[in-house]
């Protein structure tokens, strides 16, 4: 099981490098195993290192693990600038997703700016990074219609500007072979624009905001960019992004 961990002042790989000597991950308070759910039972377990890439940086980051003494559940605590099973940081993914959604460019052109990687998706071998970029865009685009509904609700509740423009089209929609893919790309761009209004940043920063919000919000609680669902602690589910 994986939990996304938020640490005050640690919002990026650069922040981590500046403060890593003082970084301390607290053990989970309550077991999320449906058959357990007991408090105060986690012991520090053997951890591991995972590599994260962002721009020219490639850093090995220790991942803390904890074992529930009651049921044996092992929890890996991942910093919120990382994604499960993806070697790139959230910021790196956000930059390329935004570029594809907002400007006319090919996956291969974007791939020239991104090194080839290995990850759990690659079956242990190298894969051209344009395929990874395609997957990131597809994952977020395929669920953008549903996510946009949540983000619009956030905008209303937080008294943020609500996007009124309906005719928003992705510059790369003409490349899509199906109408569904065209609509997904349009929805992706609209999602990023609305998210940028919610977080008060650029549309690339909006992808980071989306990742953090949906990995913590009670109603969804999943890592939207990883392609896999997450189970988080009750405390994390209760925490929403601060606007």
DSSP assignment of 146-176, as one string? HHHHHHHHHHHHTTPPPP-------TTGGG-
Cα–Cα dist 239/222, whole Å: 13
Domain count for the chain, please give it: 2
For residues 136-161, average pLDDT? 86
- Chain segment 230-239, per-residue pLDDT in tens: 444 444 444 4
Q: In terms of residue numbers, what domain contains 61?
A: 2-82
- Chain segment 90-128, per-residue pLDDT in tens: 888 888 888 899 899 999 888 876 644 444 344 433 343
241 is a domain residue = no
30: β partners: 39
222 is a domain residue = no
Q: Which ranges constitute the DSSP H helices of 20-89?
A: none
119 is a domain residue = yes
152 and 192 housed in the same domain: yes
Whole-prediction pTM: 0.77
Q: Which of 203, 204, 221 has its CA nearest to residue 212? A: 221
47 and 28 housed in the same domain: yes
**CA geometry: angle 137, 221, 124, nearest 5 deg:** 50
58 and 97 housed in the same domain: no
70 and 112 housed in the same domain: no
51 is a domain residue = yes
225 is a domain residue = no
CA dihedral 80, 25, 121, 143 (to 10 degrees): -30
């Amino acid at each position: 099981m994986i939990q996304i961990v938020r640490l005050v002042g640690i919002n990026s790989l650069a922040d981590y490098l500046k403060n890593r000597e003082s970084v301390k991950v607290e053990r989970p308070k309550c077991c999320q195993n449906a058959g357990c759910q007991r408090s105060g039972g986690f012991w520090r377990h053997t951890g591991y290192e995972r590599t994260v890439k962002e721009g020219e940086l490639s850093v090995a980051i220790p991942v803390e693990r904890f074992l529930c003494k009651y049921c044996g559940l092992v929890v890996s605590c991942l910093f919120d600038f990382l994604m499960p099973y993806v070697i790139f940081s959230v910021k790196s993914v956000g930059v390329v997703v935004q570029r594809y959604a907002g400007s006319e460019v090919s996956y291969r052109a974007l791939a020239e700016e991104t090194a080839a990687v290995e990850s759990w998706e690659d079956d242990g071998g190298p894969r051209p990074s344009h395929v990874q970029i395609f997957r990131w865009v597809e994952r977020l685009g395929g669920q953008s219609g549903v996510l946009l509904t949540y983000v619009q609700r956030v905008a209303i509740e937080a008294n943020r500007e609500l996007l009124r423009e309906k005719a928003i089209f992705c510059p790369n929609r003409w490349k899509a072979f199906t109408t569904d893919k065209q609509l997904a790309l349009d929805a992706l761009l609209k999602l990023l624009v609305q998210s940028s209004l919610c977080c008060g940043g650029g549309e690339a920063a909006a992808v980071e905001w989306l990742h953090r919000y949906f990995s913590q919000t009670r109603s969804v609680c999943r890592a939207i960019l990883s392609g896999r669902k997450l189970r988080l602690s009750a405390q994390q589910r209760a925490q929403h992004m601060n606007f």
